[in-house]
């Protein structure tokens, strides 16, 4: 790729400390949280204003050089992996909450705003931003928009797309568009919804209008332990079928429990094969009545033990364990792959039993900590990349789990996106025509395919799977996974 | 092909395909096509001279419904009434509360028009519950987006793109939805307001409160604002919850149980809107209501504000061109459901250039009307 023309133009627009070109400076940007992939860009732009982002995109377009927008680089599917010799547009410095309107219950934010900071800003008004990925302490709203990210509390009020009312974006060819608005409703095709989840292929979101919700009056949380993972999975199906509508329903298996206990002492029962967390939220009288019903359903599902959170501190501890479990499991092993497939909720028990079996046949440990309420699995496949053949075995195991999800009528990804990692599975989900139409839509927005080139579509060029280990920012102590 | 051909009195051909392949054949065979479901939103499905009507009502039936999974898939021409009944048998419902159910609206027409009703206040609109879609685009291609599970991030979100596409990007032939358990009981409080300001202040307070409200509509009855606040839940606690709400609001009269269901059914049917007036959906925010209300009142329009001030249905007596001017001034946009108009959008519009790019991909020869 011939980048010198672009680089010299960029040098005129950005000071050297915000146009990184030396390998050492760019190292933290070479991969995301899927560290098996790594690529070196030609330059990294640390943008500070929307105008700078627009200018950078327009220059890339004029020079036909690919770019990748980047938030905090916590993508688990290689979504923010740079294009080799392309440009990275880092958005962390566009981190202003531009407007918070408690009466209309909206927040207008720049893309680099950290997910949790939206809720922090809204808290004094009794409001919060609902989607809560486990990475919410570090991931950005821009990244959330690109991946339609979810979290533990997305069962009742939905994922990122359900909370984005409108946005301003620069399309890959430099046009700036305004989609949606401040109303919960819209007319015409839902272009905001179409942009959300486009994995950075539709350009860069510059300003996002988010819906805020009032904090519920009351939460009731129960922790049930089971003798088997499948038992916990079946309990989820029973809770769903009971007609209750929990705010969250999460499962952790023995490995995850152990790791979470070691990390944050959540007080989980240690001898369980699986834990199920179910939480109800809403008006107190209603929640209390429903909670009694929930406990009956849980009792009927054959748990070993049932623990009810007594107070806010108890509840906070349960959630702290859950939210740290993911990265805590990661620390049990030099390397891991995480899958994100979805199965129908009524098939959860079956799916989990299959994963256990596959784990044995491939002789690799698999930890499960996931959003059970929407059937969204997160098996973490633990391996050691230094042992010859383990990475390949881990990948084979991951592939079989994905095939199972498809066979059960589910999806290859619930929230982490296709990115780099799951591109080859798109063909199992969609027909050639479906993919062709998606590719045409992409080119209608990005004729040169410069925005996040090589991602999502099955035929893109893939850099070889190579290195492993912790996130480069993590190694430097810039981020940590909580 | 098993499609039936019939010709109405005007020179418009109506074709009713029965299979997806039929739809593909029809789309490829005719140059100008208007898609029609139940015909309950005439402004969105009336064909001009020379156009062919593709009637979806034979693409009917629930394809899959697993109650324990809270997900169903149905063909586009399935009447909402049939779906609502099937769901109700298992205590489930469409939480976005689509309008015109009893009047014959179809599932596909509701998605294409992007319509949700008063009940969308609680959990969101049609866009928030649609999880998968199959459609035939203007090139006759059968395309699928999304899936049949409640959570799915694979591929572009074509289901959302089709919401509000009013039959101008393709013919929706099948749709999958997630659904929720329906509250076993409802109760509604009627709260008269001394002034519009007071009504808006009450809505603001309610929107920021921890009350779980199913629907929150603002009506103008005999010139005076009245709020209708609907709660839902377990029969054992509903009375107590309504009582707390009443105390919190300081006023309010419960609707009688029989009137309650009827009141919301009437809202769904637009029975308050004079049949020969235009009917327009307009997304709004709470802070636009004072100015808008002045205009609507002065123009003699009937109106109903929904979902805590997120949406207004306007029944407009005069020329839509005049409403277009007003809405444009306020930077609001509207969708005409009923009324004389060549072009269903009124007022300001956002995203038109992106919509045009999408249109060029899915319907490059404009078989369907322009968007
Ligand atoms: C420990 C851990 C836990 C996690 N838990 C969850 C979870 O519970 N739920 C979940 O959904 N995900 C989870 N993730 C995945 C990840 O955090 C999310 O995908 C998140 O949204 C990524 O945000 P980011 O700011 O890091 O984006 P990045 O990784 O920097 O970028 C992600 C994608 O977004 C694009 N992008 C970034 N900004 C913009 C923009 N402004 N406009 C357009 N495109 C943009 C990038 O090009 C890239 O394709 C987890 C990750 C980790 C490491």
For the stretch A314-354, pLDDT in tens is 999 999 999 888 888 888 888 888 999 999 998 998 999 99
Q: B135: domain CATH number?
A: 3.30.465.10
Which pLDDT belongs to residue A472? Answer: 46
Q: State in Å: Cα B248 to ligand 1 middle.
A: 41
Domain boundary residue among B241, B269, B297?
Answer: B269
- Angstroms from B212 CA to nearest CA on chain A: 6
- Check pLDDT > 70 for residue A478: no
B142 backbone dihedrals φ, ψ, rounded to 5°? -90, 120
Which pLDDT belongs to residue A473? Answer: 46
Which residue in B has a C-alpha nearest to residue A159's C-alpha? Answer: B151
Dihedral sign from CA coordinates of B290, B292, B296, B301: negative
Nearest residue, CB atoms, B155 vs list A185, A214, A429? A429
Q: Is residue B359 part of a domain?
A: no
Total number of domains constituting chain B? 3
Q: Is residue B358 part of a domain?
A: no
Dihedral sign from CA coordinates of A298, A299, A300, A302: positive
Contact B125 A185 (CB under 8 A): yes
- Same-domain status, B9 and B73: yes
**Which of A390, A388, A386, A345 is CA-nearest to residue A365?**
A390
Nearest residue, CB atoms, B114 vs list A190, A214, A410? A190
- Same-domain status, B135 and B198: no
Q: Tokens 């997160």 correspond to what residue?
A: A378
Torsion, Cα A407 A410 A411 A412, to 10 degrees, reads -40
What's the predicted TM-score (pTM) here? 0.95
- Check pLDDT > 50 for residue A462: no
- Angstroms from B202 CA to nearest CA on chain A: 11
User: Residue A482, CB half-sphere, CA atoms under 13 Å: how many?
Assistant: 11
Top mutation candidate among A135, A198, A331, A367 for ligand 1, by most atoms within 8 Å of CB: A135
- The residue contributing the CA closest to ligand 1 atom 34 is A143
Q: State in Å: Cα B356 to ligand 1 middle.
A: 29
Which pLDDT belongs to residue B5? Answer: 52
Joined together, the tokens standing for residue A449 give: 């395919």
| Alpha-carbon gap, residue B22 to B54, rounded angstroms | 10
Percent of chain A surpassing pLDDT 70: 95
Q: Is residue B334 part of a domain?
A: yes
Joined together, the tokens standing for residue B223 give: 């010139």
* CA of residue A66 relative to chain centroid, distance: 23
CB B40 within 8 A of CB B103: yes
The minimum-distance atom of ligand 1 relative to the CA of A471 is 53
- Check pLDDT > 80 for residue A5: yes
CB A315 within 8 A of CB A221: yes
Joined together, the tokens standing for residue A322 give: 């859950």
Joined together, the tokens standing for residue B234 give: 């377990």
CB B77 within 8 A of CB B40: no
Cα angle, residue A111 at apex, residues A106 and A117 outer, rounded to 5°: 60
> Does residue A170 sit at the B interface (CB-CB below 8 Å)?
no
- Same-domain status, B45 and B62: yes
- Same-domain status, B123 and B141: yes
pLDDT (tens digit, 9 = 90+) per residue, A256-277?
A: 999 999 888 888 998 899 999 9
Which pLDDT belongs to residue A481? Answer: 40
**Which residues does a 6 A CB cutoff place in the pocket of ligand 1?**
A 32-33, 68-76, 79-80, 91, 111, 133-135, 139-140, 142-144, 146-147, 149-151, 199-200, 204-205, 326-327, 415-416, 452, 481
- Same-domain status, B168 and B194: no
Better pLDDT: A336 or A165: A165
Give the architecture (CATH level 2) of A4-90: 2-Layer Sandwich (3.30)
Q: Is residue B328 part of a domain?
A: yes
pLDDT of chain B, 371 residues: tens digit per residue: 444 455 445 568 999 999 999 999 999 999 999 999 999 999 999 988 889 999 999 999 999 999 999 999 999 999 999 999 999 999 999 999 999 999 999 999 999 999 999 999 999 999 999 999 999 999 999 999 999 999 999 999 999 999 999 999 999 999 999 999 999 999 999 999 999 999 999 999 999 999 999 999 999 999 999 999 999 999 999 999 999 999 999 999 999 999 999 999 999 999 999 999 999 999 999 999 999 999 999 999 999 999 999 999 999 999 999 999 999 999 999 999 999 998 999 999 999 999 999 999 999 999 999 99
Which pLDDT belongs to residue A270? Answer: 83
Which residue in B has a C-alpha nearest to residue A428's C-alpha? Answer: B154
| Alpha-carbon gap, residue B297 to B294, rounded angstroms | 5
Q: What is the CATH number of domain A333-423?
A: 3.30.70.2740
CB A449 within 8 A of CB A65: no
- Same-domain status, B293 and B223: no
- Same-domain status, B47 and B124: yes
Contact A184 B310 (CB under 8 A): yes
Nearest residue, CB atoms, B149 vs list A175, A411, A436? A411
Region A197-223: what's the mean pLDDT? Answer: 97
Per CB-CB distance under 8 Å, the chain B contacts of A339 are: none
Pick the CATH number of A97-214 from 3.40.50.300, 3.30.465.10, 3.40.50.2000, 3.90.1150.10: 3.30.465.10
SS3 call for B345: strand
Lowest mean pLDDT among A38-42, A150-154, B128-132: A150-154
The minimum-distance atom of ligand 1 relative to the CA of A80 is 48
- Same-domain status, B98 and B219: no
Contact A444 B128 (CB under 8 A): no
- Same-domain status, B207 and B225: yes
**Three-state SS letters, chain A:** CCCHHHHHHHHHHCCHHHEECCHHHHHHHCCCCCCCCCCCCCEEEECCCHHHHHHHHHHHHHHCCCEEEECCCCCCCCCCCCCCCCEEEECCCCCCEEEEECCCCEEEECCCCEHHHHHHHHHHHCEECCCCCCCCCCCEHHHHHHHCCCCCCCCCCCCHHHHEEEEEEECCCCCEEEEECCCCCCCCCCHHHHHCCCCCCCCEEEEEEEECEECCCEEEEEEEEECCHHHHHHHHHHHHHCCCCCCEEEEEEHHHHHHHHHHHCCCCCCCCCEEEEEEEEECHHHHHHHHHHHHHHHHCCCCCEEEECCCHHHHHHHHHHHHHHHHHHHCCCCEEEECECECCHHHHHHHHHHHHHHHHHHCCCEEEEEEHHHCECCEEEEECCCCCCHHHHHHHHHHHHHHHHHHCCCECECCCCCCCCCHHHHHHHCCHHHHHHHHHHHHHHCCCCCECCCCCCCCCCCCCCCCCCCCHHHHCCCCCCC
Q: Is residue B367 part of a domain?
A: no
**Which of A415, A413, A150, A370 is CA-nearest to residue A277?**
A370
CB A246 within 8 A of CB A239: yes
- Check pLDDT > 80 for residue A147: yes
ipTM above 0.85, yes or no: yes
Radius of gyration of the CA atoms of chain A, in A: 22
Give Cα separations from A313 to A129, A266, A318, A416 (angstroms): 21, 11, 9, 30
Nearest residue, CB atoms, B155 vs list A184, A416, A430? A430
Q: State in Å: Cα A401 to ligand 1 middle.
A: 22
In chain A, where does the domain assigned CATH 3.30.465.10 lie? 97-214
CB within 8 Å of A22: residues ≥ 6 apart: none
Pick the CATH number of A218-327 from 3.40.50.1100, 3.30.70.2190, 3.30.479.10, 3.40.720.10: 3.30.70.2190
Confidence of residue A35 (pLDDT cuts 50, 70, 90): confident
- Same-domain status, B26 and B160: yes
> Does residue A104 sit at the B interface (CB-CB below 8 Å)?
yes
**Which of B159, B109, B96, B166 is CA-nearest to residue B336?**
B166
Q: State in Å: Cα A106 to ligand 1 middle.
A: 22
> Does residue A440 sit at the B interface (CB-CB below 8 Å)?
yes
Q: State in Å: Cα B174 to ligand 1 middle.
A: 31
- Check pLDDT > 70 for residue A74: yes
Chain A / chain B CB contacts < 8 angstroms = 260
- The residue contributing the CA closest to ligand 1 atom 43 is A204
The length of chain A is 482
Domain that holds residue B316: 278-352
> How are strands ordered across the β-sheet holding B253-254?
B253-254, B185-192, B224-233, B215-221, B302-306, B311-316, B278-283, B333-338, B345-347
Strand partners, B135: B143, B172
| Alpha-carbon gap, residue B137 to A253, rounded angstroms | 45
CB within 8 Å of A30: residues ≥ 6 apart: A38, A39, A40, A41, A82, A472
Q: State in Å: Cα A139 to ligand 1 middle.
A: 6
Top mutation candidate among A147, A192, A203 for ligand 1, by most atoms within 8 Å of CB: A147
- Same-domain status, B293 and B147: no
Task: Enumerate residues 128 to 157 of chain A having a beta carbon within 8 A of any beta carbon in chain B.
Answer: 147-148, 150, 154, 156-157
| Alpha-carbon gap, residue A446 to A450, rounded angstroms | 7
pLDDT (tens digit, 9 = 90+) per residue, B304-345?
A: 999 999 999 999 999 999 999 999 999 999 999 999 998 999
Region A134-163: what's the mean pLDDT? Answer: 95
> Does residue A406 sit at the B interface (CB-CB below 8 Å)?
no
CB A207 within 8 A of CB A108: yes
- Same-domain status, B178 and B190: no
Q: State in Å: Cα A80 to ligand 1 middle.
A: 8
> How are strands ordered across the β-sheet holding A379-383?
A305-308, A218-226, A274-282, A248-253, A366-370, A379-383, A335-338
Domain boundary residue among B162, B182, B202?
Answer: B182
Contact A438 B311 (CB under 8 A): no
SS3 call for B288: helix
In chain A, where does the domain assigned CATH 3.30.43.10 lie? 4-90
Nearest residue, CB atoms, A240 vs list B68, B236, B349? B68
């Amino acid at each position: 790729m011939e980048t010198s023309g672009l680089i010299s133009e960029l040098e005129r627009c950005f000071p050297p400390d915000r146009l990184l070109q030396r390998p050492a400076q760019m190292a933290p940007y070479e991969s995301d949280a899927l560290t098996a992939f790594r690529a070196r860009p030609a330059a990294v732009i640390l943008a500070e204003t929307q105008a700078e982002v627009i200018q950078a995109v327009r220059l890339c377009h004029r020079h036909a050089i690919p770019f990748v927008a980047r938030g905090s680089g916590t993508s688990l599917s290689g979504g923010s992996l740079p294009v080799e010799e392309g440009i990275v547009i880092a958005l962390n410095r566009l981190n202003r909450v531009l407007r918070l309107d408690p009466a209309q219950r909206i927040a207008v934010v720049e893309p680099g705003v950290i997910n949790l900071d939206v809720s922090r800003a809204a808290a004094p008004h009794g409001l919060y931003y609902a989607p809560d990925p486990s990475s919410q302490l570090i991931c950005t709203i821009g990244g959330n928009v690109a991946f339609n990210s979810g979290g533990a509390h997305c069962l009742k009020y939905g994922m990122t797309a359900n909370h984005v009312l409108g946005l301003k974006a620069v399309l890959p060819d430099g046009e700036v568009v305004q989609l949606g608005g401040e109303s919960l409703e819209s007319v015409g095709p839902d272009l905001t919804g179409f942009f959300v989840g486009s994995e950075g292929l539709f350009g860069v979101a510059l300003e996002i209008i988010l819906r805020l919700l009032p904090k519920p009056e009351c939460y009731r949380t129960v922790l049930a332990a089971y003798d088997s993972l499948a038992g916990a999975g079946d309990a989820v199906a029973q809770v769903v079928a009971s007609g209750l509508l929990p705010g969250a329903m999460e499962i952790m298996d023995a490995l995850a429990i152990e790791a979470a206990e070691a990390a944050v002492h959540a007080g989980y029962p240690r001898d369980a094969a699986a834990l199920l967390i179910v939480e109800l939220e809403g008006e107190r009288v209603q929640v209390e009545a429903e909670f009694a019903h929930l406990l009956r359903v849980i009792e009927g599902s054959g748990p070993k033990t049932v623990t009810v959170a007594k107070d806010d501190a108890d509840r906070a501890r349960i959630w702290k364990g859950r939210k740290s479990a993911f990265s805590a499991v990661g620390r049990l092993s030099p390397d891991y792959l995480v899958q994100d497939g979805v199965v129908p909720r009524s098939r959860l028990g079956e799916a989990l039993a299959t994963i256990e079996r596959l784990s044995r046949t491939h002789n690799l440990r698999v930890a499960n900590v996931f959003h059970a309420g929407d059937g969204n699995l997160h098996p973490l496949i633990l391996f050691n990349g230094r042992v010859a053949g383990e990475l390949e075995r881990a990948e084979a195991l991951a592939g079989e789990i994905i095939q199972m999800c498809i066979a059960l009528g589910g999806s290859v990804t619930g929230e982490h996106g296709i990115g780099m990692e799951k591109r080859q599975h798109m063909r199992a989900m969609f027909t050639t025509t479906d993919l062709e139409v998606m590719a045409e839509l992409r080119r209608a927005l990005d004729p040169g395919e410069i925005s996040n080139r090589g991602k999502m579509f099955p035929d893109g060029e893939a850099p070889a799977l190579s290195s492993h280990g912790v996130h480069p920012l993590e190694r430097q102590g810039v981020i940590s996974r909580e | 092909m098993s499609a039936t051909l019939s010709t109405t009195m005007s020179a418009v051909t109506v074709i009713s395909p029965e299979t997806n392949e039929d739809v593909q054949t029809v789309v490829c065979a005719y140059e100008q096509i208007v898609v029609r479901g139940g015909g309950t939103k005439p402004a969105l499905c009336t064909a001009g001279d020379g156009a062919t009507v593709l009637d979806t009502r034979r693409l009917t039936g629930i394809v899959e419904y697993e109650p324990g999974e809270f997900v169903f898939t149905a063909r586009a021409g399935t009447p909402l009434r049939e779906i609502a009944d099937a769901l109700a048998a298992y205590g489930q419902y469409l939480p976005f509360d689509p309008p015109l159910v009893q009047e014959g609206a179809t599932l596909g027409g509701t998605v294409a028009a992007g319509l949700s009703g008063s009940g969308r206040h609680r959990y969101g609109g049609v866009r928030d519950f649609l999880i998968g879609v199959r459609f035939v685009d203007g090139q006759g291609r059968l395309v699928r987006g999304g899936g049949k599970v409640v959570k799915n991030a694979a591929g572009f979100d074509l289901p959302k793109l089709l919401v509000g596409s009013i039959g101008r990007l393709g013919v929706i032939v099948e749709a999958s939805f997630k659904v929720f358990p329906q509250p076993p009981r409802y109760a509604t409080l009627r709260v008269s307001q001394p002034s519009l300001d007071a009504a808006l202040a009450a809505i603001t307070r309610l929107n920021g409160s921890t009350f779980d409200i199913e629907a929150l509509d603002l009506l103008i009855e005999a010139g005076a604002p009245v709020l209708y606040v609907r709660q839902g839940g377990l029969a054992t606690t509903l009375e107590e919850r309504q009582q707390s709400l009443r105390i919190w609001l300081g006023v309010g009269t419960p609707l009688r149980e029989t009137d309650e269901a009827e009141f919301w059914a009437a809202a769904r049917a637009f029975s308050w809107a004079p049949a020969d007036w235009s009917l327009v959906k307009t997304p709004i925010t709470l802070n636009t209501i004072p100015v808008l209300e002045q205009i609507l009142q002065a123009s003699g329009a009937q109106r109903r504000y929904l979902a805590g001030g997120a949406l207004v249905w306007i029944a407009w007596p005069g020329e839509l061109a005049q409403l277009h001017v007003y809405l444009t001034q306020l930077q609001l946009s509207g969708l005409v459901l009923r009324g004389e108009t060549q072009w269903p959008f009124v007022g300001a519009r956002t995203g038109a250039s992106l919509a045009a790019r999408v249109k060029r991909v899915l319907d490059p020869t404009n078989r369907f009307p322009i968007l």
